[in-house]
């Protein structure tokens, strides 16, 4: 199978680029995949496709750009020129831009594939029905929220015209089936990026103890509460703690972290890493004592939660939304705090770094949950899904490994 993937891809800073990297890493190792066509956004640096594992050929076509009005035309031309057997869209609603028109136009691409009879799957990481538009940085204006909801509903109906829509939360399947009477939506877990065959070292011997958070900040992910909570823990415990804020601004709140860095410059041992390259992610997690989620809302399955689990880390999280569902359904555990409550957050952090037995219990449970769905297994599930939607212009023989019988 010649598989095209429409996505942002490292060194891109556009959302979901890291997820695409790990999809590609594992898709290329499938025997039935003969070539991967990466239809990516344009970047200054070269795309990171230097994998050490054996796998199929990867062809990179930089054919779109964030907020580009011609993305739908350019990506369609790339698909026509390569004629893939199948297309996977790695999407969320702001994937192609934070401006309404280019963002919406990009989401019409699955229909283009449907019209051209190219089997396609939309991997949709969030749905607008489950997003707090104010907290997520879209708008606080009630009228504009109604407009966004109408646009979102219309775009969702169009996305659902694709051959198959995959979401990473069972809750999203239920919402889409109920509201849109959708028959082509299924659940495939987010999966864990890297799961070592050797169990992680659950001890925390490094000093200072690193209290780390990771993501795109400024909307519903804010770091002020984390900084102030760690300051409280320092005073009550006397422990040597370093605050590590890893990641960048959310595109909707440019300049947020720079402002925070200036506002809290008097705080000792406060480190901002900026964008974390893929090859530095493992070091970031391994050196951390715990991982904190200073969220006030959620917008989908958390990649950072799955990463923390794969490195055997205990976590501090708010008991709300999709994070709470992941804990319930996938077996993750954490020390919970009340959103927007600095005292509650400080207590949760203190409990984990002063009670080693409790921390170990949570860390080991998270590692067990992460290892249940490695990306190797997740990409197998997508291959099964492609086989199910294969049609006459995608011969079944090219889709299915020899071990899978065809009726």
- Distance from C-alpha of 176 to C-alpha of 129, rounded to nearest angstrom: 9
Report pLDDT for 192. 85
Judge residue 103's burial from the number of C-beta atoms within 10 Å of its C-beta, 0-12 exposed, 13-18 middle, 19 or more buried.
Answer: buried
pTM assigned to the model: 0.80
Residue 245 confidence (pLDDT) above 80: yes
Residue 393 confidence (pLDDT) above 50: no
Residues 188-198 have pLDDT tens digits of 998 888 776 67
Q: Which residues are within 8 A (CB) of 360 and not within 5 positions of it... i.e. 6 or more apart?
A: 202, 314
Place of tokens 């555990």: 333
Residue 1 confidence (pLDDT) above 70: yes
Helix spans in 118-223 (H): 142-159, 170-180
- Distance from C-alpha of 126 to C-alpha of 168, rounded to nearest angstrom: 8
- Distance from C-alpha of 286 to C-alpha of 283, rounded to nearest angstrom: 5
What six digits make up the tokens of 275?
A: 């964008």
Phi, psi of 394 (to 5 degrees): -130, 90
- Bigger pLDDT: 279 or 333? 333
Helices (H) and strands (E) in the chain, counts: 15, 13
The answer to whether 305 and 354 have CB atoms below 8 angstroms apart is no
- Distance from C-alpha of 40 to C-alpha of 358, rounded to nearest angstrom: 43
The answer to whether 168 and 190 have CB atoms below 8 angstroms apart is yes
Q: What is the mean pLDDT of residues 276-289?
A: 89
The answer to whether 159 and 122 have CB atoms below 8 angstroms apart is yes
Bond before 40 cis per omega within 30 degrees: no
Q: How many CA atoms lie within 13 A of 158 on its CB side?
A: 18
Report pLDDT for 392. 43
What six digits make up the tokens of 41?
A: 């956004």
- Distance from C-alpha of 7 to C-alpha of 299, rounded to nearest angstrom: 19
Q: What is the mean pLDDT of residues 51-76?
A: 94
Bond before 11 cis per omega within 30 degrees: yes
Helix then strand then coil, % of the chain, to nearest 5 = 40, 20, 40
Residue 272 confidence (pLDDT) above 60: yes
- Distance from C-alpha of 253 to C-alpha of 136, rounded to nearest angstrom: 10
Percent of the chain with pLDDT over 70: 90
What six digits make up the tokens of 54?
A: 């054996």
- pLDDT-based confidence at 344, cuts 50/70/90? very high
Residues 78-100 have pLDDT tens digits of 999 999 999 999 998 888 988 88
| 3-class state of residue 121 by DSSP | strand
Residues 349-374 have pLDDT tens digits of 999 999 999 999 999 999 998 888 88
Residues 111-167 have pLDDT tens digits of 999 888 889 999 998 887 766 555 555 556 677 767 777 877 888 999 999 999 999
The answer to whether 280 and 304 have CB atoms below 8 angstroms apart is no
Report pLDDT for 400. 47
Residues 380-391 have pLDDT tens digits of 999 999 988 875
CA nearest neighbour of 202 among 362, 354, 370: 362
Report pLDDT for 61. 96
Average pLDDT over the chain, rounded to an integer: 87
């Amino acid at each position: 199978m010649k598989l095209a993937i429409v996505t942002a891809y490292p060194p891109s800073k556009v959302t979901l680029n890291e997820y695409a990297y790990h999809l590609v890493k594992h898709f290329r190792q499938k025997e039935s995949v003969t070539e991967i066509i990466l239809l990516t956004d344009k970047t200054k640096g070269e795309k990171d496709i230097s994998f050490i594992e054996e796998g199929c050929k990867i062809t990179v076509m930089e054919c779109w750009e964030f907020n580009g009005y011609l993305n739908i035309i350019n990506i369609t031309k790339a698909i026509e020129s390569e004629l893939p057997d199948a297309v996977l869209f790695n999407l969320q609603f702001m994937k192609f831009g934070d401006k309404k028109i280019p963002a919406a136009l990009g989401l019409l691409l699955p229909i283009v594939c449907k019209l051209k009879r190219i089997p396609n799957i939309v991997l949709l990481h969030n749905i607008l029905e489950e997003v707090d538009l104010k907290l997520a940085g879209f708008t606080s204006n009630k009228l504009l929220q109604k407009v966004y909801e109408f646009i979102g509903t219309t775009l969702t109906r169009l996305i659902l015209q694709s051959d198959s829509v995959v979401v990473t939360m069972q809750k999203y399947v239920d919402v889409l089936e109920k509201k849109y009477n959708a028959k082509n939506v299924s659940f495939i877990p987010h999966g864990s990026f890297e799961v070592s065959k050797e169990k992680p070292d659950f001890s925390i011997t490094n000093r200072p103890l690193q209290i780390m958070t990771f993501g795109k900040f400024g909307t519903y992910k804010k770091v002020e509460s984390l900084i102030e909570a760690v300051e409280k823990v320092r005073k009550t415990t006397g422990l040597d703690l370093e605050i590590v804020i890893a990641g960048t601004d959310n595109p909707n709140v440019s300049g947020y972290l720079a402002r925070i860095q200036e506002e809290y410059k008097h705080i000792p041992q406060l480190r901002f890493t900026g964008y974390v390259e893929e090859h530095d992610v493992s070091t970031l997690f391994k050196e951390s004592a715990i991982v904190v989620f200073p969220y006030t809302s959620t917008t989908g399955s958390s990649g950072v939660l799955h990463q923390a689990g794969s490195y055997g880390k205990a976590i501090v999280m708010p008991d709300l939304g999709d994070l709470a569902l992941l804990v319930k359904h996938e077996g993750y555990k954490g020390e919970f705090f009340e959103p927007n409550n600095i005292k509650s957050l400080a207590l949760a952090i203190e409990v984990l770094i002063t009670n080693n037995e409790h921390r170990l219990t949570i860390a080991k449970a998270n590692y067990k949950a992460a290892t249940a769905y490695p990306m190797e297994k997740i990409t197998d599930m997508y291959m099964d899904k492609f086989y199910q939607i294969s049609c006459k212009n995608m011969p079944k023989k090219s889709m299915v490994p020899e071990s899978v019988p065809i009726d």
